[in-house]
A and B are shown apart, each in its own frame.
Chain A
Amino acid sequence: MAGPCGTFVITGVPTAQVGAVKAQFALDDPTSVTVSDPPVNGTVTVTAVFPACSDGSNPTNTTPFPG
Protein backbone atom coordinates (compact mmCIF):
# COMPACT_ATOMS: atom_id res chain seq x y z
CA MET A 1 0.00 0.00 0.00
CA ALA A 2 1.27 3.48 -0.80
CA GLY A 3 1.38 6.39 1.62
CA PRO A 4 -1.64 8.14 3.12
CA CYS A 5 -4.43 9.17 0.78
CA GLY A 6 -7.74 10.90 1.35
CA THR A 7 -8.62 12.78 4.51
CA PHE A 8 -7.53 12.15 8.09
CA VAL A 9 -9.02 13.93 11.08
CA ILE A 10 -7.85 14.24 14.67
CA THR A 11 -10.40 15.73 17.05
CA GLY A 12 -9.99 17.05 20.58
CA VAL A 13 -6.48 18.36 20.07
CA PRO A 14 -5.56 20.76 22.91
CA THR A 15 -4.48 24.14 21.59
CA ALA A 16 -1.16 23.56 23.36
CA GLN A 17 -0.58 20.55 21.08
CA VAL A 18 -1.80 21.88 17.73
CA GLY A 19 1.70 22.73 16.52
CA ALA A 20 2.94 19.25 17.34
CA VAL A 21 0.10 17.56 15.43
CA LYS A 22 0.58 19.87 12.45
CA ALA A 23 4.32 19.08 12.42
CA GLN A 24 3.54 15.38 12.62
CA PHE A 25 1.13 15.56 9.70
CA ALA A 26 3.70 17.56 7.72
CA LEU A 27 6.02 14.53 7.77
CA ASP A 28 3.70 12.87 5.23
CA ASP A 29 3.48 15.86 2.87
CA PRO A 30 -0.29 16.46 2.95
CA THR A 31 -2.00 18.68 0.41
CA SER A 32 -3.32 20.81 3.23
CA VAL A 33 -3.66 20.90 7.02
CA THR A 34 -6.47 22.94 8.54
CA VAL A 35 -7.32 23.71 12.15
CA SER A 36 -10.86 24.40 13.31
CA ASP A 37 -11.41 27.81 14.76
CA PRO A 38 -12.41 28.92 17.32
CA PRO A 39 -11.36 26.26 19.83
CA VAL A 40 -14.12 24.49 21.72
CA ASN A 41 -13.30 23.77 25.34
CA GLY A 42 -9.67 24.45 24.60
CA THR A 43 -9.48 21.87 21.84
CA VAL A 44 -9.54 21.96 18.06
CA THR A 45 -9.92 19.56 15.17
CA VAL A 46 -6.96 19.13 12.84
CA THR A 47 -7.79 17.93 9.34
CA ALA A 48 -5.13 16.77 6.90
CA VAL A 49 -5.96 16.21 3.25
CA PHE A 50 -3.74 13.95 1.19
CA PRO A 51 -3.86 13.23 -2.53
CA ALA A 52 -6.67 11.02 -3.79
CA CYS A 53 -6.13 7.29 -3.50
CA SER A 54 -4.80 5.24 -6.40
CA ASP A 55 -8.31 4.02 -7.20
CA GLY A 56 -9.45 7.62 -7.61
CA SER A 57 -11.42 7.72 -4.37
CA ASN A 58 -10.96 10.39 -1.74
CA PRO A 59 -12.11 8.64 1.41
CA THR A 60 -12.96 10.40 4.61
CA ASN A 61 -14.69 9.45 7.80
CA THR A 62 -16.01 12.26 9.93
CA THR A 63 -17.09 10.08 12.84
CA PRO A 64 -14.24 10.19 15.30
CA PHE A 65 -13.08 7.15 17.23
CA PRO A 66 -13.91 6.90 20.07
CA GLY A 67 -17.17 8.61 19.24
Chain B
Amino acid sequence: MKKTERKILLQGNEAVVEGAIAAGIRFFAGYPITPASEILEGFALRMPQVGGAFIQMEDEISALSAVIGASIGGAKAITATSGPGMSLMSENIGLAIVEEIPCVIVDVQRVGPGSGMIFTSQGDAMYAKWGTPGGNEIIALAPSSVKECFDLTVKAVNLSERFRVPVTLLSDAHLGHMREVIDVVDYEQIEKVDRPKPTCPPEKYLTYDADESGVPAMADVGTAYRSRLTPYLHDKGGVYGPSPEERRFLIHRLHHKILDHLDEILMVEQTMVEDARIAVFAYGICARSAKAAVKAARAKGIKVGLFRPITLWPFPTEAVSKLAQQVDRIVVAEMNCGQLVLEVERASKGEARVSFVGQDDGILMTPEKILATIEEDLNG
Protein backbone atom coordinates (compact mmCIF):
# COMPACT_ATOMS: atom_id res chain seq x y z
CA MET B 1 0.00 0.00 0.00
CA LYS B 2 2.95 2.31 -0.53
CA LYS B 3 3.45 5.09 -3.04
CA THR B 4 0.92 4.44 -5.78
CA GLU B 5 -2.84 4.43 -5.96
CA ARG B 6 -4.17 0.94 -6.19
CA LYS B 7 -7.28 -1.17 -6.02
CA ILE B 8 -7.80 -3.49 -3.09
CA LEU B 9 -10.56 -5.82 -2.01
CA LEU B 10 -11.58 -5.00 1.52
CA GLN B 11 -14.33 -5.77 3.97
CA GLY B 12 -16.02 -2.76 5.57
CA ASN B 13 -14.41 -3.52 8.91
CA GLU B 14 -10.97 -3.85 7.28
CA ALA B 15 -11.50 -0.56 5.45
CA VAL B 16 -12.07 1.13 8.82
CA VAL B 17 -8.70 -0.17 9.99
CA GLU B 18 -6.91 1.02 6.86
CA GLY B 19 -8.70 4.38 6.84
CA ALA B 20 -7.71 4.88 10.45
CA ILE B 21 -4.06 4.13 9.75
CA ALA B 22 -4.16 6.45 6.74
CA ALA B 23 -5.59 9.19 8.99
CA GLY B 24 -2.72 8.78 11.43
CA ILE B 25 -4.38 6.62 14.07
CA ARG B 26 -1.62 5.09 16.17
CA PHE B 27 -3.59 3.72 19.09
CA PHE B 28 -6.37 1.19 19.30
CA ALA B 29 -7.95 -0.33 22.38
CA GLY B 30 -10.93 -2.62 22.17
CA TYR B 31 -12.81 -5.62 23.39
CA PRO B 32 -14.08 -8.47 21.21
CA ILE B 33 -17.67 -8.22 20.01
CA THR B 34 -19.49 -9.47 16.95
CA PRO B 35 -19.85 -7.93 14.36
CA ALA B 36 -16.96 -5.53 15.09
CA SER B 37 -14.22 -8.00 15.99
CA GLU B 38 -12.46 -7.80 12.62
CA ILE B 39 -11.59 -4.21 13.47
CA LEU B 40 -9.97 -5.30 16.73
CA GLU B 41 -8.15 -8.12 14.93
CA GLY B 42 -7.13 -5.81 12.11
CA PHE B 43 -5.54 -3.34 14.49
CA ALA B 44 -3.85 -6.17 16.41
CA LEU B 45 -2.12 -7.06 13.15
CA ARG B 46 -1.53 -3.59 11.76
CA MET B 47 -0.68 -1.34 14.71
CA PRO B 48 2.69 -2.96 15.45
CA GLN B 49 3.51 -2.80 11.72
CA VAL B 50 3.04 0.97 11.63
CA GLY B 51 4.69 1.58 15.00
CA GLY B 52 1.44 2.20 16.84
CA ALA B 53 -0.02 0.69 19.97
CA PHE B 54 -2.73 -1.94 20.27
CA ILE B 55 -4.25 -3.30 23.42
CA GLN B 56 -7.14 -5.62 24.09
CA MET B 57 -8.75 -4.40 27.27
CA GLU B 58 -10.85 -6.17 29.88
CA ASP B 59 -14.13 -4.58 28.75
CA GLU B 60 -15.50 -1.76 26.63
CA ILE B 61 -15.44 0.65 29.56
CA SER B 62 -11.69 0.36 29.86
CA ALA B 63 -11.29 0.18 26.07
CA LEU B 64 -12.61 3.71 25.66
CA SER B 65 -10.79 4.75 28.85
CA ALA B 66 -7.52 3.59 27.31
CA VAL B 67 -8.30 5.39 24.07
CA ILE B 68 -8.90 8.58 26.05
CA GLY B 69 -5.66 8.09 27.99
CA ALA B 70 -3.69 7.58 24.79
CA SER B 71 -5.33 10.59 23.16
CA ILE B 72 -4.26 12.71 26.13
CA GLY B 73 -0.80 11.30 25.49
CA GLY B 74 -0.94 12.73 21.98
CA ALA B 75 -2.12 9.70 20.01
CA LYS B 76 -4.81 9.74 17.42
CA ALA B 77 -6.86 6.98 18.99
CA ILE B 78 -9.84 4.83 18.08
CA THR B 79 -11.98 1.99 19.37
CA ALA B 80 -14.63 -0.21 17.78
CA THR B 81 -17.61 -2.03 19.19
CA SER B 82 -21.28 -2.85 18.68
CA GLY B 83 -24.45 -1.85 20.56
CA PRO B 84 -23.85 -3.78 23.80
CA GLY B 85 -20.34 -2.33 23.93
CA MET B 86 -21.60 1.14 23.05
CA SER B 87 -23.71 1.05 26.17
CA LEU B 88 -20.58 0.38 28.24
CA MET B 89 -18.75 3.21 26.50
CA SER B 90 -21.56 5.63 27.21
CA GLU B 91 -20.05 7.12 30.36
CA ASN B 92 -16.68 7.78 28.79
CA ILE B 93 -18.27 9.37 25.72
CA GLY B 94 -19.64 11.90 28.18
CA LEU B 95 -16.19 12.33 29.70
CA ALA B 96 -14.63 12.80 26.27
CA ILE B 97 -17.24 15.48 25.50
CA VAL B 98 -16.65 17.53 28.63
CA GLU B 99 -12.89 16.94 28.85
CA GLU B 100 -12.69 17.56 25.09
CA ILE B 101 -10.61 14.51 24.24
CA PRO B 102 -10.40 13.70 20.52
CA CYS B 103 -11.35 10.07 19.87
CA VAL B 104 -13.26 7.96 17.39
CA ILE B 105 -15.75 5.22 18.25
CA VAL B 106 -16.82 2.82 15.54
CA ASP B 107 -20.22 1.28 16.21
CA VAL B 108 -20.81 -1.69 13.95
CA GLN B 109 -24.51 -1.84 14.69
CA ARG B 110 -26.39 -5.04 15.44
CA VAL B 111 -30.09 -5.52 15.91
CA GLY B 112 -32.21 -5.23 19.02
CA PRO B 113 -31.91 -4.11 22.62
CA GLY B 114 -29.89 -5.97 25.25
CA SER B 115 -27.64 -8.47 23.54
CA GLY B 116 -29.96 -8.35 20.54
CA MET B 117 -28.67 -10.41 17.65
CA ILE B 118 -25.60 -10.03 15.53
CA PHE B 119 -27.46 -9.08 12.35
CA THR B 120 -27.57 -5.70 10.66
CA SER B 121 -29.46 -2.73 12.05
CA GLN B 122 -29.56 1.04 12.30
CA GLY B 123 -30.94 0.88 15.79
CA ASP B 124 -28.22 3.08 17.29
CA ALA B 125 -28.92 6.18 15.17
CA MET B 126 -30.45 8.06 18.09
CA TYR B 127 -28.22 6.38 20.66
CA ALA B 128 -25.15 7.76 18.91
CA LYS B 129 -26.40 11.22 19.73
CA TRP B 130 -28.23 10.74 23.03
CA GLY B 131 -26.38 7.78 24.53
CA THR B 132 -24.67 9.75 27.26
CA PRO B 133 -26.15 11.97 29.97
CA GLY B 134 -26.07 15.71 29.65
CA GLY B 135 -27.19 16.06 26.05
CA ASN B 136 -24.24 17.74 24.40
CA GLU B 137 -23.14 17.82 20.80
CA ILE B 138 -21.20 14.98 19.24
CA ILE B 139 -20.54 14.11 15.62
CA ALA B 140 -21.73 10.90 13.95
CA LEU B 141 -21.06 9.78 10.39
CA ALA B 142 -22.75 6.95 8.49
CA PRO B 143 -20.85 5.20 5.70
CA SER B 144 -22.82 3.29 3.10
CA SER B 145 -20.01 1.56 1.22
CA VAL B 146 -16.65 -0.02 1.91
CA LYS B 147 -15.01 2.98 0.25
CA GLU B 148 -16.85 5.23 2.67
CA CYS B 149 -15.81 3.05 5.60
CA PHE B 150 -12.28 4.08 4.63
CA ASP B 151 -12.94 7.72 3.76
CA LEU B 152 -15.29 8.51 6.64
CA THR B 153 -12.93 6.96 9.16
CA VAL B 154 -10.36 9.47 7.91
CA LYS B 155 -12.97 12.21 8.17
CA ALA B 156 -14.01 11.06 11.66
CA VAL B 157 -10.43 11.21 12.90
CA ASN B 158 -9.93 14.66 11.39
CA LEU B 159 -13.17 16.04 12.82
CA SER B 160 -12.41 14.64 16.26
CA GLU B 161 -9.03 16.35 16.22
CA ARG B 162 -10.33 19.59 14.76
CA PHE B 163 -13.12 19.98 17.32
CA ARG B 164 -11.76 17.92 20.22
CA VAL B 165 -14.91 15.86 20.35
CA PRO B 166 -15.74 12.14 20.23
CA VAL B 167 -16.87 11.15 16.74
CA THR B 168 -18.95 8.03 16.16
CA LEU B 169 -18.80 6.11 12.91
CA LEU B 170 -22.10 4.28 12.51
CA SER B 171 -21.40 1.17 10.47
CA ASP B 172 -23.47 -2.02 10.71
CA ALA B 173 -23.12 -5.79 10.61
CA HIS B 174 -23.82 -5.97 6.89
CA LEU B 175 -21.50 -3.19 5.79
CA GLY B 176 -18.81 -4.37 8.19
CA HIS B 177 -18.72 -7.78 6.58
CA MET B 178 -19.40 -6.81 2.98
CA ARG B 179 -16.48 -6.81 0.55
CA GLU B 180 -15.89 -4.29 -2.23
CA VAL B 181 -12.95 -3.25 -4.35
CA ILE B 182 -11.84 0.27 -3.48
CA ASP B 183 -9.23 2.69 -4.78
CA VAL B 184 -6.71 3.62 -2.15
CA VAL B 185 -4.20 6.41 -2.56
CA ASP B 186 -0.84 6.59 -0.89
CA TYR B 187 -1.53 7.22 2.80
CA GLU B 188 0.96 10.10 2.74
CA GLN B 189 -1.38 11.98 0.41
CA ILE B 190 -4.35 11.77 2.74
CA GLU B 191 -5.29 15.01 4.48
CA LYS B 192 -4.59 14.85 8.19
CA VAL B 193 -5.87 17.33 10.74
CA ASP B 194 -4.16 17.76 14.09
CA ARG B 195 -5.68 19.07 17.30
CA PRO B 196 -4.97 22.74 18.03
CA LYS B 197 -1.77 23.26 20.02
CA PRO B 198 -1.09 26.08 22.48
CA THR B 199 0.88 29.02 21.14
CA CYS B 200 1.21 30.73 24.53
CA PRO B 201 4.08 30.01 26.90
CA PRO B 202 3.49 27.22 29.46
CA GLU B 203 2.94 29.55 32.40
CA LYS B 204 0.09 31.28 30.54
CA TYR B 205 -1.60 28.05 29.45
CA LEU B 206 -5.09 27.31 30.70
CA THR B 207 -6.46 23.89 29.78
CA TYR B 208 -9.88 25.12 28.65
CA ASP B 209 -9.23 28.64 27.47
CA ALA B 210 -10.65 28.61 23.95
CA ASP B 211 -10.31 31.30 21.32
CA GLU B 212 -13.29 32.46 19.25
CA SER B 213 -13.39 29.08 17.45
CA GLY B 214 -14.58 27.58 20.73
CA VAL B 215 -11.98 24.83 20.61
CA PRO B 216 -9.29 25.12 23.29
CA ALA B 217 -5.68 24.28 22.51
CA MET B 218 -4.54 20.88 23.75
CA ALA B 219 -1.06 20.81 25.24
CA ASP B 220 1.26 17.84 24.91
CA VAL B 221 1.79 15.98 28.14
CA GLY B 222 5.37 15.37 29.20
CA THR B 223 6.19 19.05 28.58
CA ALA B 224 6.29 22.18 30.71
CA TYR B 225 2.60 22.74 29.97
CA ARG B 226 0.29 21.61 32.75
CA SER B 227 -3.06 20.13 31.81
CA ARG B 228 -5.98 19.94 34.24
CA LEU B 229 -8.46 17.65 32.58
CA THR B 230 -11.64 17.25 34.53
CA PRO B 231 -14.98 15.54 33.87
CA TYR B 232 -16.76 17.92 36.18
CA LEU B 233 -18.04 21.25 34.99
CA HIS B 234 -15.01 23.46 35.23
CA ASP B 235 -13.67 26.93 34.65
CA LYS B 236 -11.12 27.82 31.96
CA GLY B 237 -8.32 26.48 34.12
CA GLY B 238 -9.99 23.09 34.43
CA VAL B 239 -10.80 23.71 38.09
CA TYR B 240 -13.97 22.18 39.48
CA GLY B 241 -16.70 24.31 41.02
CA PRO B 242 -17.33 27.13 38.57
CA SER B 243 -19.94 29.83 39.02
CA PRO B 244 -23.30 29.55 37.21
CA GLU B 245 -21.94 31.98 34.57
CA GLU B 246 -18.89 29.79 34.01
CA ARG B 247 -21.03 26.66 33.82
CA ARG B 248 -23.27 28.26 31.21
CA PHE B 249 -20.24 29.43 29.31
CA LEU B 250 -18.77 25.92 29.24
CA ILE B 251 -22.00 24.15 28.26
CA HIS B 252 -22.69 26.69 25.52
CA ARG B 253 -19.15 26.53 24.23
CA LEU B 254 -19.35 22.72 23.99
CA HIS B 255 -22.50 23.15 21.89
CA HIS B 256 -21.33 26.00 19.79
CA LYS B 257 -17.89 24.72 18.90
CA ILE B 258 -19.84 22.15 16.86
CA LEU B 259 -22.95 24.11 15.81
CA ASP B 260 -20.97 27.15 14.67
CA HIS B 261 -18.99 25.03 12.22
CA LEU B 262 -21.67 23.04 10.45
CA ASP B 263 -20.16 23.94 7.08
CA GLU B 264 -17.12 21.87 8.04
CA ILE B 265 -19.12 18.98 9.44
CA LEU B 266 -22.31 18.41 7.50
CA MET B 267 -22.16 16.13 4.48
CA VAL B 268 -25.19 15.20 2.41
CA GLU B 269 -25.46 13.36 -0.90
CA GLN B 270 -28.47 14.24 -3.04
CA THR B 271 -29.27 12.20 -6.13
CA MET B 272 -31.95 13.08 -8.69
CA VAL B 273 -33.54 15.52 -6.27
CA GLU B 274 -33.72 18.56 -8.64
CA ASP B 275 -37.06 17.68 -10.26
CA ALA B 276 -38.29 15.22 -7.64
CA ARG B 277 -41.77 15.35 -6.11
CA ILE B 278 -40.83 12.61 -3.67
CA ALA B 279 -37.55 12.27 -1.80
CA VAL B 280 -36.32 9.15 -0.10
CA PHE B 281 -34.36 9.94 3.04
CA ALA B 282 -31.97 7.09 3.81
CA TYR B 283 -28.48 6.70 5.25
CA GLY B 284 -25.83 4.05 5.77
CA ILE B 285 -26.31 0.63 4.27
CA CYS B 286 -30.04 1.29 3.80
CA ALA B 287 -29.26 4.15 1.40
CA ARG B 288 -28.00 1.57 -1.10
CA SER B 289 -31.40 -0.10 -1.18
CA ALA B 290 -32.97 3.35 -1.35
CA LYS B 291 -30.83 4.27 -4.34
CA ALA B 292 -31.92 1.10 -6.14
CA ALA B 293 -35.53 1.88 -5.28
CA VAL B 294 -35.19 5.43 -6.60
CA LYS B 295 -33.76 4.13 -9.89
CA ALA B 296 -36.57 1.58 -10.20
CA ALA B 297 -39.17 4.28 -9.52
CA ARG B 298 -37.57 6.59 -12.05
CA ALA B 299 -37.77 3.76 -14.60
CA LYS B 300 -41.51 3.73 -13.91
CA GLY B 301 -41.65 7.48 -14.50
CA ILE B 302 -42.04 8.48 -10.86
CA LYS B 303 -40.10 11.64 -10.00
CA VAL B 304 -38.15 10.49 -6.98
CA GLY B 305 -34.79 11.53 -5.59
CA LEU B 306 -32.49 10.32 -2.83
CA PHE B 307 -31.43 12.45 0.11
CA ARG B 308 -28.61 10.70 1.95
CA PRO B 309 -27.19 12.33 5.06
CA ILE B 310 -23.59 11.24 5.51
CA THR B 311 -23.36 13.26 8.71
CA LEU B 312 -26.20 12.09 10.97
CA TRP B 313 -25.21 14.26 13.92
CA PRO B 314 -25.41 17.16 14.06
CA PHE B 315 -28.56 16.58 12.05
CA PRO B 316 -28.65 18.43 8.71
CA THR B 317 -31.80 20.32 9.71
CA GLU B 318 -31.46 23.14 7.22
CA ALA B 319 -30.94 20.85 4.23
CA VAL B 320 -33.96 18.75 5.19
CA SER B 321 -36.10 21.89 5.66
CA LYS B 322 -35.10 22.99 2.18
CA LEU B 323 -35.88 19.54 0.83
CA ALA B 324 -39.33 19.62 2.44
CA GLN B 325 -40.13 22.90 0.71
CA GLN B 326 -39.04 21.42 -2.60
CA VAL B 327 -40.84 18.05 -2.59
CA ASP B 328 -44.35 16.95 -1.67
CA ARG B 329 -43.39 13.84 0.22
CA ILE B 330 -40.40 12.45 2.06
CA VAL B 331 -40.14 8.70 2.51
CA VAL B 332 -37.82 7.89 5.39
CA ALA B 333 -36.29 4.43 5.10
CA GLU B 334 -34.25 3.18 8.02
CA MET B 335 -33.50 -0.16 9.58
CA ASN B 336 -35.09 0.42 12.97
CA CYS B 337 -38.56 1.16 14.32
CA GLY B 338 -38.37 4.84 13.36
CA GLN B 339 -35.65 7.12 14.69
CA LEU B 340 -34.32 9.77 12.32
CA VAL B 341 -37.84 9.99 10.88
CA LEU B 342 -38.57 12.06 13.98
CA GLU B 343 -35.81 14.47 13.02
CA VAL B 344 -37.09 14.61 9.45
CA GLU B 345 -40.59 15.41 10.71
CA ARG B 346 -39.15 18.14 12.92
CA ALA B 347 -37.03 19.63 10.17
CA SER B 348 -39.73 19.51 7.48
CA LYS B 349 -42.07 21.64 9.63
CA GLY B 350 -45.15 20.23 7.90
CA GLU B 351 -43.99 21.43 4.47
CA ALA B 352 -43.89 17.87 3.10
CA ARG B 353 -45.73 14.74 4.11
CA VAL B 354 -43.36 12.35 5.88
CA SER B 355 -43.88 8.61 5.69
CA PHE B 356 -41.78 5.87 7.15
CA VAL B 357 -40.60 2.46 6.05
CA GLY B 358 -38.68 0.49 8.63
CA GLN B 359 -36.93 -2.82 9.02
CA ASP B 360 -36.30 -4.05 12.52
CA ASP B 361 -35.52 -7.76 12.22
CA GLY B 362 -31.84 -7.82 11.28
CA ILE B 363 -32.63 -8.34 7.61
CA LEU B 364 -31.31 -5.87 5.08
CA MET B 365 -33.96 -3.51 3.74
CA THR B 366 -34.85 -4.39 0.14
CA PRO B 367 -35.32 -1.87 -2.69
CA GLU B 368 -38.73 -3.48 -3.34
CA LYS B 369 -39.95 -2.58 0.11
CA ILE B 370 -38.93 1.05 -0.31
CA LEU B 371 -40.37 1.14 -3.83
CA ALA B 372 -43.66 -0.19 -2.50
CA THR B 373 -43.74 2.64 0.04
CA ILE B 374 -42.98 5.21 -2.67
CA GLU B 375 -45.87 3.87 -4.75
CA GLU B 376 -48.16 3.64 -1.74
CA ASP B 377 -47.55 7.29 -1.18
CA LEU B 378 -48.39 8.01 -4.80
CA ASN B 379 -51.78 6.41 -4.38
CA GLY B 380 -52.38 7.77 -0.92
A binds B: no
Residues of A whose CB lies within 8 Å of any CB of B are: none
